[in-house]
């Protein structure tokens, strides 16, 4: 017997046909004694349609004063999909019951549309499982201490599934998605990328941070916290996917690195010709922080030792570029910088793996692979379990492939 | 200061434009100190669209095993409209908050899709009113002791508004509808029908039972139970409508009768040539009761005293006719009746008024009016506050007008 939480996203339940197919698939894999909790998102376009309705009241429905009502509105999306999926199970002869976020005891703070999970009291879920029901739970939502519905924001559906699995002390949380697992590199770019059987929470977090889009960091953190293995697998086939867990269980799973991540959505800003006096870095980066802009890589390099002139180069998310440029132009004037340069054709390529700790050969192997591919390295940054290089955006595909070949060649 | 519950139906909130108009209208009538609770139904077609979705899972979504999930599904309809109406108030500068049936403490039994209200604990409503909010409440729904959503079935929106008004000890419950009050006869049929200023609960119940469609008996009973005046008025203008209450407050409001009701959806069945022995009536009517068919008027008349042969004539709702005919044909065979006749072109016309008690002149005045219009009376039945006549369906309009003229001529 196993207690498993299975999570299906909105595209998996976009129509009633697909909802019936999800029910069918779950039943085909269910062993007689299995206890199953299914967490689902709103059907396909439902959320967008609800937002369009709200725009009929006010073109800016995400104003602060509306957020509580937006949550009241948006939580209906999952309530629709859970009731239909429970009916689908019943039609197939399987007792099932749907429960909202509030009903599964998913307690959140009151930050509407961006709620955080505070606690889960899933007594009702246990009761319904005991009765022989498959329990269908609304993802992405909980309720605050007043009992008001609260949505969990970006990555909230996966996070609520993993957190619920934690509270239920489930054996595993399966996340069904449009890819069939976590790959050693993006398979759309690297032809011979391989699917990992396992990856640790820490490595997965680092992969996600460095651009791998499979899982939101939030749910991986949740899995780490609750020690729940997260099985990322495909909605469209029944192959085993990738299990994210504390530590590897499989001997044959060791490589020097786990994977190659990349992020093309990067921009570089260089503040050139700055006087190298105390407080200059603080001025630049506190101004960016005040504007809520995250800075990733930072390099400070001496240009003229005699005159004590330095250059300050850093990277940010491409989407923050316009705002960051404004902020930096203003600061540059204040600190009397020679000039500000912006470069958009940059990208970041990274290797990730717990195995590289204290193994300097790994980084140099990466640099060698880039050199072999004729790729110049602009900035290098490292963490305990990763090395990242900023390169020309137009060379990203060759770079990723060359590094992947170097580490995973047969 | 007044505490008023206002109820708007689905057609009043069918679009976001209409929702904004409802909010505007409520604010234009609101005095600064008024405390206002608005109960709304689902937007126009929402419920039908949700049922269509459920039919995508199973063509018969109202099977018993699905009913709990149907309630989970259908309660989203009002949850959408309340969130949008609360946003509309906020857009107009009025603090407002939406609450589901469960959140206003509307406790129901667990008879899904046909729930009955057991109790209301509106603590949250009082709290939100105290904060200066207009409270927007989902009609038609409550929650059972498990916290599962339950819809209230036919007439449930009005009933939940009136019950909530009762629990809040509101000064009045306003029901906004597509007519501007209760008329002395259906104004579509009787040109000079007048709008009543007031009517008692008992008279309104009798009018409703006898065919007047303005209010469902359920909410009138609820108003009677809680002693809440129900003000029936138009969504489309701000005229005073009709107040349903315990007893009249207005001197000029007395007539011999209150109004003329009619019901064209009646069918007559005659079981002819039955032996007049004990248990025959029981056999006929228990068979109908077992098939869940309500019988209205009943007449038993002796055809042949010598042979002790009798005829049994009764009326039922037209929609039950096909099923009733089957039941009666079977019983007729068992009791060896001579024949069964069915007549569909029949209708019922009634006068209603507490004033007629112990005033035999009122009934004869009605019969006189029918005679004057050349209408033959088939069956007569009376209650304490009404007299009803079964007549030919094709003569209904003349009959109603002639009776109305007789009692309300200037």
Please report which confidence band the pLDDT of residue B35 belongs to, taking 50, 70 and 90 as the band edges. very high
From A58-72, A133-147, A308-322, the region with the lowest mean pLDDT: A308-322
For A39, phi and psi rounded to 5 degrees? -105, 125
Alpha-helix runs per DSSP H in A58-100: 67-91
Strand pairing class (A134-138; A96-99): parallel
B408 to chain A, minimum CA–CA distance in Å? 47
Cβ burial B322-348 (10 Å sphere, 16+ → b, else e) = eebeebbeebbeeeebeebeebeebbb
Distances (CA, A) of B292 to B287, B324, B368: 9, 10, 36
Please report which confidence band the pLDDT of residue B250 belongs to, taking 50, 70 and 90 as the band edges. low
Contact of B255 with B353, CB cutoff 8 Å: yes
Chain B neighbors of A88, CB-CB under 8 A: 57
Distances (CA, A) of B363 to B211, B360, B369, B402: 19, 6, 10, 14
Contact between chains at B90 and A65 (C-beta distance less than 8 A): yes
Q: Model confidence over A212-241: pLDDT tens digits?
A: 878 888 999 999 999 999 999 999 888 999
- Stretch A15-42: mean pLDDT, rounded? 96
Contact between chains at B65 and A90 (C-beta distance less than 8 A): yes
Four-residue CA torsion sign, A274, A275, A276, A282: negative
Strand pairing class (B149-151; B141-143): antiparallel
Contact of A197 with A33, CB cutoff 8 Å: no
Higher pLDDT, B268 or A153: B268
Please report which confidence band the pLDDT of residue B277 belongs to, taking 50, 70 and 90 as the band edges. confident
Distance CA B302, CA B281 (A): 13
Distance CA B289, CA B292 (A): 5
pLDDT at B410 over 70: no
Q: Model confidence over B284-337: pLDDT tens digits?
A: 999 999 998 989 999 888 777 788 888 999 999 999 999 999 999 999 999 999
pLDDT, residue A382, reads 87
Distance CA A339, CA A146 (A): 54
Contact between chains at A69 and B54 (C-beta distance less than 8 A): no
Task: Report the residue of A87, A90, A105 to disrupt the B interface, i.e. the one with the largest count of B CBs within 10 Å.
Answer: A87
Contact between chains at B103 and A148 (C-beta distance less than 8 A): yes
A214 to chain B, minimum CA–CA distance in Å? 31
Task: Using only the alpha carbons of chain A, give its radius of gyration.
Answer: 24
From A270-279, B102-111, B263-272, the region with the lowest mean pLDDT: A270-279
Distance CA A255, CA B312 (A): 93
Contact of A391 with A399, CB cutoff 8 Å: yes
pLDDT, residue A359, reads 75
Nearest-CB residue to B57 (from A65, A75, A84)? A84
Q: Give the CA angle between residues A400, A405, A410 to the nearest 5°.
A: 155
Please report which confidence band the pLDDT of residue B359 belongs to, taking 50, 70 and 90 as the band edges. confident
Other C-beta atoms within 10 Å of A246: how many?
Answer: 13
Nearest-CB residue to B73 (from A17, A56, A83)? A83
B73 to chain A, minimum CA–CA distance in Å? 5
Distance CA B272, CA B367 (A): 26
pLDDT, residue B254, reads 65
Q: What one-character-per-residue DSSP string does A168-194 give?
A: TT-SEEEEEESSSS-BSS-TTT-TT--
Residues above pLDDT 90, as percent of chain A = 80
Please report which confidence band the pLDDT of residue B278 belongs to, taking 50, 70 and 90 as the band edges. confident
pLDDT at A254 over 70: no
Chain A neighbors of B15, CB-CB under 8 A: 56
Please report which confidence band the pLDDT of residue A253 belongs to, taking 50, 70 and 90 as the band edges. low
- Stretch B37-43: mean pLDDT, rounded? 97
How does the average pLDDT of chain B come out, rounded? 93
Please report which confidence band the pLDDT of residue A361 belongs to, taking 50, 70 and 90 as the band edges. confident
Contact of A343 with A296, CB cutoff 8 Å: no
pLDDT, residue B160, reads 95
Please list, in sequence order, all residues whose beta carbon lies within 8 angstroms of the beta carbon of residue A151, skipping any fewer than 6 positions away. A70, A71, A74, A75, A112, A113, A114, A115, A140, A141
Distance CA A7, CA A157 (A): 8
- Stretch A171-189: mean pLDDT, rounded? 93
Please report which confidence band the pLDDT of residue A410 belongs to, taking 50, 70 and 90 as the band edges. low
- Stretch A140-161: mean pLDDT, rounded? 94
pLDDT, residue A281, reads 86
Q: What one-character-per-residue DSSP string does A190-209 give?
A: -TT--B-SEEEHHHHHHHHH
B171 to chain A, minimum CA–CA distance in Å? 28
Chain B neighbors of A146, CB-CB under 8 A: 124
Distance CA A200, CA A386 (A): 14
pLDDT, residue B216, reads 84
Q: Model confidence over B5-19: pLDDT tens digits?
A: 999 999 999 999 999
pLDDT, residue B251, reads 56
Burial degree of A374 (CB within 10 A; 0-12, 13-18, 19+): exposed
B332 to chain A, minimum CA–CA distance in Å? 41
Nearest-CB residue to A87 (from B16, B54, B75)? B54
pLDDT, residue A118, reads 96
| A406: nearest Cα among A375, A364, A378 | A364
Chain A neighbors of B100, CB-CB under 8 A: 72
ipTM score for this prediction: 0.84
pLDDT, residue A252, reads 52
Contact between chains at B90 and A50 (C-beta distance less than 8 A): no
- Stretch A148-158: mean pLDDT, rounded? 91
pLDDT, residue A17, reads 97
Residues above pLDDT 90, as percent of chain B = 80
pLDDT, residue A284, reads 92
DSSP single-letter state for residue A333: H
Q: Model confidence over B83-127: pLDDT tens digits?
A: 999 999 999 999 999 999 999 999 999 999 999 999 999 999 999
How does the average pLDDT of chain A come out, rounded? 93
The residue of chain B with its CA nearest to that of A53 is B16
> Tokens 């007629």 label which residue?
B356
Chain A neighbors of B87, CB-CB under 8 A: 54, 57-58, 61, 66, 69
Contact between chains at A90 and B69 (C-beta distance less than 8 A): yes
A58 to chain B, minimum CA–CA distance in Å? 7
Contact of B108 with B66, CB cutoff 8 Å: no
Helix (H) or strand (E) holding B35, with range, is strand B35-40
Distance CA B4, CA A343 (A): 63
| B258: nearest Cα among B188, B337, B343, B194 | B194
The residue of chain B with its CA nearest to that of A97 is B69
Sheet holding B198-200, edge to edge: B96-99, B134-138, B35-40, B3-8, B172-177, B230-234, B242-245, B198-200
pLDDT at B354 over 90: no
Distance CA B139, CA B40 (A): 5
pLDDT at B348 over 90: yes
Nearest-CB residue to B16 (from A57, A91, A124)? A57
pLDDT, residue B117, reads 95
């Amino acid at each position: 017997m196993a207690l498993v939480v299975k999570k299906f996203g909105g595209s998996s339940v976009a129509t009633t046909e697909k909802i019936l197919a999800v029910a069918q698939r779950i039943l085909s894999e269910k062993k007689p004694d299995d206890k199953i909790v299914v967490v689902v998102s709103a059907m396909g376009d439902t959320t967008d349609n609800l937002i369009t309705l709200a725009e009929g009241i006010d073109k800016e429905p995400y104003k602060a004063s509306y957020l509580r009502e937006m949550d009241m509105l948006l939580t209906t999306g999952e309530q629709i999909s859970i009731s239909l999926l429970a009916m689908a199970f019943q039609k197939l002869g399987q007792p099932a019951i749907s429960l909202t976020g509030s009903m599964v005891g998913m307690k959140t703070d009151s930050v509407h549309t961006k709620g955080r999970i505070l606690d889960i009291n899933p007594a009702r879920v246990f009761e319904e499982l005991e009765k022989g029901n498959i329990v269908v739970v609304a993802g992405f939502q909980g309720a605050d201490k007043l009992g008001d519905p609260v949505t969990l924001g970006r990555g909230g559906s996966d996070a609520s599934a993993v957190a619920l699995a934690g509270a239920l002390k489930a054996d595993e949380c399966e996340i069904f998605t449009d890819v069939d697992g976590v790959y050693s590199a993006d398979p759309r770019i690297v032809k011979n990328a391989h699917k990992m059987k396992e990856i640790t929470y820490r490595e997965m977090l680092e992969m996600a941070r460095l651009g791998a889009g499979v899982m939101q960091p939030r749910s991986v953190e949740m899995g780490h916290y609750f020690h729940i293995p997260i099985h990322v697998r495909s909605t469209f086939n029944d192959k085993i996917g990738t299990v994210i867990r504390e530590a590897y269980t499989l001997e044959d799973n060791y490589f020097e690195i786990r994977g190659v991540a990349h992020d093309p959505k990067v921009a570089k800003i260089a503040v050139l010709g700055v006087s190298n006096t105390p407080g200059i870095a603080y001025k630049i980066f506190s101004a960016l922080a005040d504007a809520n802009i995250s800075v990733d890589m930072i390099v400070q390099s001496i240009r003229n030792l005699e005159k004590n002139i330095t250059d300050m180069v850093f990277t940010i998310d491409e989407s923050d570029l316009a705002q960051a440029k404004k902020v930096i132009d203003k600061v540059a004037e204040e600190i009397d910088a020679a000039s500000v340069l912006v470069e958009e054709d940059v990208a970041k390529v990274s290797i990730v793996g717990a195995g590289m700790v204290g193994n300097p050969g790994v980084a140099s192997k990466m640099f060698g692979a880039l050199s072999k591919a004729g790729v110049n390295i602009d900035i290098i940054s490292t963490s305990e379990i990763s090395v990242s290089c900023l390169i020309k955006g137009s060379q990203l595909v060759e770079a990723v492939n060359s590094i992947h070949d170097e580490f995973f060649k047969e």
